[in-house]
Structure 1
Amino acid sequence: MLVSLNRRITSHPILEFPREKSVTFMFEGKRIEAYEGESIAAALYASGLKTFTWSYKRNRPRGWFCGIGKCSSCLMTVNGIPNVRTCIVPVKEGLNVQRQKQGLGTLPSSLYENPEVEKFDVELAVIGGGPAGLSAAITAKRLGCSTLVIDENFKAGGQLIKQTHKFFGSKENYAGVRGIDIAKILLKDLNELGGNWLLSSTVAADYIEGGKHVLIVPSLVEPKIRVIKAEKVVVGTGARENMLIFPNNDLPGVYGAGGVQTLMNVFGIKPGERALVVGAGNVGLIITYQLIQAGTSVEAIVEAMPRIGGYFVHAAKVRRLGVPIYLRHSIKRAIGKESVEAAEIVQLDENWNPVEGTERRIEVDTIVLAVGLTPASEIPA
C-alpha cells in the first residue's frame, strides 16, 4: 500500500539536499512526485511505500535493504523492462513503474534489437567508482595511463558520499576530513587529470582477446552497450552488507547500515521514526548518530560481544546523546506482519546462547544491521 507521506529531510546539521527540479512518474496508476537525482526506489520510499516486491516461494514482503543494487529486494518493472534494480536507477519524467508478482518479472513482447554500441580502447579499466577505484584511477593517470572508471551507480564516490563524520588516520589519508568532502576531492583530482568514467553501467562480461581484456558493459538507463578493450583491469567493487539470521529478518524495515546511510545521507530521506541498531562496531556507532541527525530516535544498540568494538570517541558521542548500548545482547526476532512494528532483544550467555527470561520488546519501525561486510568479488572470481 502506498501511504500519502513525505519522508524527505528538510533540515540537517551537516548536509544540504538541493531539490531544484521536480519530476513526476507513474507507479501502478498513481502519480508520484520526485526530485531529479533521486533513485526510483528512494522516491517511492519517500512517498510512503515500504513493500517493493514479494518473495518467490512464500510471497513475503520485501523492501529497501542495501540501496546499492546488491540484494534484489527492489526489483520492479520500469517502462516494460522487468527486474530493474530501482535503487540504482534515477527517476525520470514520465517513467511507468510497477511491482512484480512474487518477485518475477515478465519479459516484454519487444526489445531493443539494435542497441547503440560504443567502443573504448584504454590502458586501464577500473571497475568501481568508490574510494579504492577512484584512488587507483588517479594514480594511473598521474603515471600517464589512459584510464576509464566504470560504476553501476548513477552517483560516483561509493561509500564516501554517505559519510558525514570526519575520518581518522594520517594527513595523507584525509584525517579530519568528512567522507562527503573526500569524495569531492577525489572526483575533482580525477577530473583535472582528464580521467573518464561511465556511470549507470555494469560489467556483464570480461574475457581475453588478443592479449587484452574485453569488457562488455551495458548501460542501466539507455539502450547502449559499451565494448571496452583494456590492457589491465583493476577491480574495486567494494562490499555488500552481511545479513543476520533471526525470525522476520526479511521484513521491510530491516535494513543494512549502508542502505540506511544511502537513504539519509545521499537522498535525504528519513528511514523511520524509531530505530534499533544491531552492532556496536564503528559502523553501528556512526550510523546511530547519523540517524539522530536525520531525525530518527535510536532506542538502543545491541552488541553480542562483551565489549564495544568501535572507537571510544564514537561510543562516547552516542552515550552523550542518551542511547543505551546493551553488551552481550542480540536481536531475537523482528515483530510485524507487513513491516517492522517492534523488535525483541535478548541477553546472551558466555557461549552465545540466548538467556531465557531476559527477552525485552522495543517499539521500533526500523532495525539497522551493522554486522560487517562481505567483499563483492564476483568479477575476479
Structure 2
Amino acid sequence: MSTTFYTGRAERTMAAAMAEQHKAAAEAQRAETALRLFQVQREHELAADELAERRAARRRADRRAARAERSAQLSRALARVPDWLLSALWAAVIVAPITLAWRAQQAFAVTTLHVPAGWSWLFPLAVEAGAWVCAFEAHRRARRGAPIGSLLTWMWLLSGIAAGIQLGHATTDYGPVAGVALAAMSLLGVLLHHIRSTVDRAAVEGRTSAELRRAAWRRVRFPRLSWAAASIAAARGAGITADQAWTAAWTDRYGVGPDSSRRDRSLARVIVRHQHKADREAARNGGLVIVGGVILPVTVPVLESAGIAAPPTVDTVSEVPADESETGIVQAQLPEKTAQLLIKVRSAVAAGELPARPSASAIRAMFKGASETASDVRDLIRKEAA
C-alpha cells in the first residue's frame, strides 16, 4: 500500500519521522550489540578469573600434598632410625670378630707360613670367606623365600674348620687362652649373623618370639632330639611340619610323644627296647614280611574283642593249603573303618611315628576316630606282636 502526499511539506514531515524512526532503531541495535559485547567480555573475564582461581587452588593443593609427602617421608625416615641404628649395631658386632679373625689369620700366614705380605690376605680369604659366602647366600635365599638346602650345614662346617685352624696356630704361638679366644672369633661372627637371619626369617614367616625361644631351648635342652627331628623333616620333605617332626623324634626314641610324663617315657623306652628285640627275633624266624613298603606280621588275627562279634567270614590269601603251609598271610575281613585305621597304624609304626605297641589314646591322638575302633586296632596290633 503506498502513501500519497498532496503537499510537499507533509511528505517532508513523514520522511523526517521515518528517518528518526530508523535512527532510533539503529541506536537500539547498537546499544543491544554493545550490551552483548559487554556481557560476552564479562563472561570471558569471569571465566578467566575462575580458571586462575582453580589453578591457584590446584597449586595450593599440590603444595600441601608435597608438604604432606615430605612430612610423611620424614616421619618414615625418623621411624626407621631405630632400625638403622640397630642394623648398624648388628653390623658392628658382626664385623668386629670377622676383622679380628681375619687379622689373626693374615698374621699367621706371614709369620708361620711365610706367605709374602702382599699375598697374605689370600689365606684368611680361603679359610674364613667360605663360611660367610654360605651365610649370606642362605640369608639371600631366605629373604626371597627360596629353599636354603644344606647351606647352613656347610656354613657351620666351614666356620668350624676356620675355628680349628685359629685354635691350633694361636695355641702354638700365644698359648691356649689366645687359641680359644681367636677360635671363638671365627665362630662368633657367623653365630651373630645366623641369629639375625633367623630372627628376620621368623618375622617373614610370622613366627612369634615365644616360638623362637621354644625352638632355641629345644636345641639346647634336647640336642639329640632336635637333630633327630631335623633329620626326619629333611627325609620327609615339605609334607611334615616342625611340630610333627618333633613329635616323631620323641616317639622314635621314647615310644611316646613329648606330652607324656618322665615315668611314661622311662617305661616306654624299656618297652620299645624289648619290643625291638622281639621284632628282630620274629624277623629272623620269618614272622614278619614287607608288603607295599610296610612291615606286617605273617598272620593277621581275627578281631574278637569284648562286646564285638568276630566277622562272619575269613578269607585266606595263600596259594598253599593250610595243612601244607604255616607261614601264609591270613587276612581277616574287618569292618572298613577298622581295616583302614589298621593300615594307617601299621604304617605309622613302621615309620617310627608310633611305638610297636601303641595305646588307643595314642592312635586317636594321631588319626582321630572313634575310641572303639582305636581299641580294636590296638588289640589287633598287640596280638600281632604277641
Q: TM-score, normalised by structure 2?
A: 0.21
Higher relative contact order (CA 8 A, sep 6+): 1
Higher strand share: 1
Q: TM-score, normalised by structure 1?
A: 0.21
Higher helix share: 2
